[in-house]
Amino acid sequence: MSMNRLIDRIVELKNPTVAGLDPKLGYVPNYIKEAAFEKYGYTLKGAAKALLEFNKGLIDALCEVVPAIKPQCAYYEMYGPAGVKTLYKTMEYAKEKGMLIITDGKRNDIGTTMEAYSIGHLGLTDVNGKQLSAFGGDMLTVNGYLGTDGIKPLLKVCDELDKGIFVLVKTSNPSSGELQDRLIDGKPVYEIMGEMCEKWGAESVCDPYGFSNVGAVVGATYPEQLKALREKMPHTFFLVPGYGAQGGGAEDVRHAFNKDGIGAIINSSRGIMCAYQKRGFEEKDYAQAAYLEAIRMRDDIQGVL
């Protein structure tokens, strides 16, 4: 079961965190950009190549201390097909280095189309009888607004290929409450979505950790809701954004974990990618700065568990 693959690695590294790879050109050291632009010009391809080099350096520095990366599709799609190729190459490189991949795409659609997303991001694509991996992520973030038949095709792939999903439940942004906090029969929408996650995952709950293949995204910026959801969703593993740059701290994310100190993976994107800029490192030491920030974050969170 996929959550077990992730949790095993978290336990092994004693580190319940994930490095969000949401690279912007502004984060990339000049020497990397200059080399790429010299070779490919000021083009989308040049930008995409620079991002790939930047990511590889981060992966090299993080792969032995951080269990997973979470590339955010938007920052790759922004550079067109060349950017999407960098997404693929980043994932391929991280896998080679033993990291798990949480593809942050928040995909959603009706059943037949969701099947295509499931195959593309987690499964195998059939080409004349050959089974090929299109992107090959381990887990995918999804949006459950369309209900069960937008989720079922994912469950099939998760079951067959040992993969997982994270459904948006309570997001970390300021306006998340506009819909998510509204009450249905006295319960907020995010709680209804949380109940659906427990239902969708019911058949894949497994030992030794007791979590299913269906995880949930719950923001660190709403610690009270995080605490309530942890209690109401005992079999749902949490992906928690909002630590660091968005304002959440270790005390805020503590409630995402159960009494065994398991139950969540905490994301940091800018905190890790831009560590060298924030801490006054030289550009060439950007990966070392990211490593030190990853260690600091690990210890910060381990300190409250």
Considering only 93-101, 180-188, 207-215, 289-297, which stretch makes contact with its own copies by CB under 8 A?
180-188
- Our finding on whether 252 is near its own copies (CB under 8 A) is no
106 catalytic residue (yes or no): yes
Q: Which member of 78, 161, 206, 250 binds its own copies (CB under 8 A)?
A: 78
Q: Which is nearer to its own copies, 105 or 223 (CB)?
A: 105
Q: How many residues does the chain have?
A: 305
Per the residue annotation, which of 24, 89, 95, 106 is the catalytic one?
A: 106
Residues 205-244 that bind its own copies (CB under 8 A): 241
Which residue among 12, 38, 129, 231 contacts its own copies (CB under 8 A)? 129
3-state secondary structure 112-172: HHHHHHHHHHCCCEEECCEEECCCCCCEEEECCCCCHHHCHHHHHHHHHHCCEEEEEEECC
List Cβ neighbours of 199 (8 Å cut-off, separation of 6 or more): none
Q: How far apart are the first and last CA of the chain?
A: 25
**Any residues with CB less than 8 A from the CB of 197 and at least 6 apart, and which?**
144, 167, 169, 214, 215, 216, 233, 236
Backbone angles phi and psi of 220, in degrees to 5: -70, -15
128 interacts with its own copies by CB under 8 A = yes
Q: Which stretch binds its own copies (CB under 8 A): 9-17, 57-65, 170-178, 248-256?
A: 170-178
- Collapse the DSSP code of 91 into the 3-class scheme (helix H, G, I; strand E, B; otherwise coil) and give the result: helix
By CB under 8 A, residue 25 contacts its own copies: yes
| Residues between 264 and 283 that touch its own copies (CB under 8 A) | none
Q: Is 201 in the site for its own copies (CB under 8 A)?
A: no
**Nearest to its own copies of 35, 295 (CB atom):** 35
Give the residue with the Cβ less far from its own copies, 212 or 246.
246
Q: At what angle do helices 44-62 and 30-40 cross, to 10 degrees?
A: 140
From 183-191, 202-210, 259-267, 281-289, span contacting its own copies (CB under 8 A):
183-191
Instruction: Enter the tokens of residue 214.
Output: 């269906």
Q: Does 135 sit near its own copies (CB under 8 A)?
A: yes
Longest Cα–Cα distance of the chain, Å, equals 60
Q: Is 111 in the site for its own copies (CB under 8 A)?
A: yes
Query: Binding of its own copies at residue 248 (CB under 8 A)?
Result: no
Which residues are marked as active site? 106
